[in-house]
Amino acid sequence: MEKFAYMNYDDVYKKITEIINNQNSKNKVTKEKPIGYSEYGLPIDHYTIGTGPKHIVVSGSYHAAEIITTIFVVRLMEAMSKDDSFKVDEYTIDFIPIVNPEGYLITTSMQDLYLNKYQTEEEKIAAAKVYWASYRADATIPVKVKKGELPESSLREKKSYQALFDDVNLDEYLRDYPEIKESVLDIVNKNNYPIGVLAAWTANASGIDLSQNVPYNPAIKKLIEAEESVYNHLAYANTRKDVPGPVNTPCRNLKSFSFESENLAILNFFENLYHEKGTEIIAYFNYHSVMGKMYQRPVKEEGMINLYDIDYEKKVIENYVSSKIFRTGNAYDIIESEDPYSYINEFLRLRYGIDIQVELSRMGSNPIGPLADPDTFENVTVKPNINAFDYFIKNYDFIKNYSAFIGSLISKLKEDNLEFDVLNIYDLIDKITKENPTLYTRLQEELRNKESHNAHVISYFYDELKKALESNKKENEEVKGLDVEDKFNMSFHLFLSKIIEEVNSKRKEDLTKEEIDLLIDNIFRDYPELITNIKYNSLNNLSTNNLYQELSLIIHNQIKMGNLLNKPRR
């Protein structure tokens, strides 16, 4: 069994020091000058491996409670320091393990008071499992309220995971950081929150969510216009987001926006690196922790696109191709829509290089829930994502060439005034090449070894794409003629076939017919609203992609936890 991977604030820096001082490392880890400081003076530390002109930036703990992102970034740093195939003269990896040091201290210092009650590693793992189960149960309360199974007042009551911290000794909490302690306790007391909210604190010490802290965040306008208090959702449903608190508050004064110190540091770091002579920011991997998926599509923010003269279509292609390559290592779902959550990352995604936000774990229940199953954390989260990162670097030239190749095909389609979606083009090419393995091998060889693409190859693929687009158009017209049940049945059948194939690939034995029937029955029983939304979109010829992606994540996660394949209890 793998070890309990938990790291508090001091543990992180002890481990990094150990990595730096390791005489057997192949690649030197250098501690650079901090990129900035938090409001209360904590350094936002920066480390590098390599001295090449192509920079890849890696960050963790934008959301403080997502501590597994910092743990992963430190593990990635260690792995790359030992990688003798890494081209140190071509690339530089910039590691920022903790973007939000105040928040990391706040949440891990509270978790320390909980975990330190237990002596052995097995006991600490058991305590993490109790936390995970409590948090998961609390996250279902809003759904139960909506179904009438619980009273609405239960939304604002103390959560069971928060109650685990009722008996902690606050004299021991943040003893060496009195100003931070005073700030967060002031927020807790003003709002009459249970002390346990500090155990899953995602904001900084001022109660501002760094990810939400950008001026064009649409949530700001909604919060200003709200006529009553605005509360958070799921396991945070007893906390507010219209005032400083543990999560989702975008700024200190809703009517007078200001960036937090941490975000100013990040923005200045990227901008200075962007203008540094002889350097290029080729990619930014921003690690978060929820649901095991990847966000990659740039938001179409016209102001920024015009201000910085951004080639939006090129951004879309490069990010999507990169996420496809990255997926080879971690097998995570790619979210094809714009990311509606991480607004600061959208700014960075439009402005600088390839940008993928990787949500590391399907377990949830931050901060220690994802660590409650050490084997899964190590073998499903850490190792595959280290492999994915390494695979991205080794295939970077291919990514650039493949993106340019797709750009050439799109230019020809535009000349012929054909209708298409950029993301569909990649999938169509993928389908064409994989149906003809020999051709696919030739294409890969061509794109890996040549900067300019053979005109005959482009011409062939262009003809195949036209056929595929015409075929899709015909299928869409046929689907439009179906009634809602037929449309839904057709799309659900295709979706279910894909899910069963994915599930079977991870099992020793394929699902039986009885298990498949149970799976379908349980989906319809447990997620009626989602099924209704899919049917509605089918009826109105609206996209169902995001809804099916949501359902896919739910099914995989629930099967992993042993649900959905069992007969319901009566």
Annotate 75-135 with DSSP letters as a single string: HHHHHHHT-TTS-TTTEEEEEES-S-HHHHHHHHHHHHHHHTT--SHHHHHHHHHHHHHHH
In contact, 222 and 212? CB cutoff 8 Å: no
Tokens of 139: 């996250």
Q: Mind listing the pLDDT tens digit for each residue in 299-309?
A: 877 777 777 78
In which band, very low, low, confident or very high, does the pLDDT at 213 lie, cut at 50, 70 and 90? Answer: very high
Question: Angle at which helices 9-20 and 67-81 pack, to 10 degrees?
Answer: 10
Over residues 56-77, mean pLDDT: 97
pLDDT at 416 > cutoff 50: yes
What are the angstrom distances between the C-alpha of 38 and each of 135, 208, 348, 367, 436? 29, 12, 20, 21, 54
Q: Mind listing the pLDDT tens digit for each residue in 98-150?
A: 999 999 999 999 999 999 999 899 999 999 999 999 999 998 898 888 889 99
Number of residues that this document lists for the chain: 570
Q: Mind listing the pLDDT tens digit for each residue in 29-46?
A: 999 999 999 999 999 999
Q: What's residue 455's pLDDT?
A: 65
In which band, very low, low, confident or very high, does the pLDDT at 435 lie, cut at 50, 70 and 90? Answer: confident
Count the helix, strand and coil residues of the chain and give each as a percent rounded to the nearest 5: 55, 10, 35
Over residues 176-201, mean pLDDT: 97
Q: List the beta bridge partners of residue 334.
A: 294
In the Cβ-directed half-sphere of 34, how many Cα atoms lie within 13 Å? 16
pLDDT at 222 > cutoff 50: yes
Most confident of 10-19, 362-371, 466-475: 10-19
Q: What's residue 478's pLDDT?
A: 44
pLDDT at 227 > cutoff 60: yes
Q: List the beta bridge partners of residue 44.
A: 36
pLDDT at 486 > cutoff 70: no
Identify the residue with better confidence: 561 or 49.
49
pLDDT at 275 > cutoff 50: yes
Between 99-113, 223-237, 325-339, the lowest mean confidence (pLDDT) is in 325-339
Tokens of 44: 């936002």
Report angle CA 475, 480, 486 to the nearest 5 degrees: 95
Over residues 457-483, mean pLDDT: 63
pLDDT at 485 > cutoff 60: no
Q: What is the Cα 393 distance to its own chain's centre?
A: 19
pLDDT at 477 > cutoff 60: no
DSSP state of 154: G
Over residues 352-362, mean pLDDT: 91
Q: What's residue 218's pLDDT?
A: 82
Q: What's residue 484's pLDDT?
A: 47
Query: Amino acid identity, residue 273?
Result: L
pLDDT at 483 > cutoff 60: no
For 15-29, letters b (16+ CB in 10 Å) and e give bbeebeeeeebebeb
pTM: 0.83
For residues 83 and 182, give the distance between their C-alpha atoms in angstroms, rounded to a whole number. 44
Q: What's residue 369's pLDDT?
A: 94
Query: Amino acid identity, residue 130?
Result: V
Question: Residue 366: which of 41, 68, 30 has the closest Cα?
Answer: 68
Q: What's residue 116's pLDDT?
A: 92
For residues 537 and 556, give the distance between their C-alpha atoms in angstroms, rounded to a whole number. 23
Q: What's residue 37's pLDDT?
A: 98
Q: What's residue 533's pLDDT?
A: 72
Percent of the chain with pLDDT over 70: 87
pLDDT at 162 > cutoff 90: yes
Q: What's residue 217's pLDDT?
A: 83
Over residues 275-293, mean pLDDT: 92
Q: Mind listing the pLDDT tens digit for each residue in 83-109?
A: 999 999 999 999 999 999 999 999 999
For residues 443 and 74, give the distance between their C-alpha atoms in angstroms, rounded to a whole number. 37
pLDDT at 74 > cutoff 90: yes
pLDDT at 389 > cutoff 80: yes
Q: What's residue 487's pLDDT?
A: 52
For residues 464 and 359, give the distance between their C-alpha atoms in angstroms, rounded to a whole number. 35
In which band, very low, low, confident or very high, does the pLDDT at 527 lie, cut at 50, 70 and 90? Answer: low
Query: Amino acid identity, residue 239?
Result: T
Q: What's residue 285's pLDDT?
A: 96
Residue with tokens 């943040």: 174
For residues 397 and 451, give the distance between their C-alpha atoms in angstroms, rounded to a whole number. 9
Residue with tokens 């306790």: 185
Percent of the chain with pLDDT over 90: 53
pLDDT at 382 > cutoff 90: yes
In which band, very low, low, confident or very high, does the pLDDT at 570 lie, cut at 50, 70 and 90? Answer: very low
The set of residues, in sequence order, having a beta carbon less than 8 Å from that of 425 and lying 6+ positions away, is 406, 409, 410, 413, 465
For residues 341 and 202, give the distance between their C-alpha atoms in angstroms, rounded to a whole number. 14
Q: At residue 217, what are phi and psi to the nearest 5 degrees?
A: -65, 115
Q: At residue 284, what are phi and psi to the nearest 5 degrees?
A: -130, 120
Q: What's residue 463's pLDDT?
A: 79
The mean pLDDT value of the chain amounts to 86
Most confident of 145-149, 271-275, 403-407: 271-275
Most confident of 296-300, 485-489, 531-535: 296-300
Question: Residue 217: which of 342, 92, 313, 402 has the closest Cα?
Answer: 342
pLDDT at 568 > cutoff 60: no
What are the angstrom distances between the C-alpha of 410 and each of 278, 405, 426, 447, 450? 31, 9, 10, 17, 19
3-class DSSP assignment, residue 283: strand
Identify the residue with better confidence: 215 or 181.
181
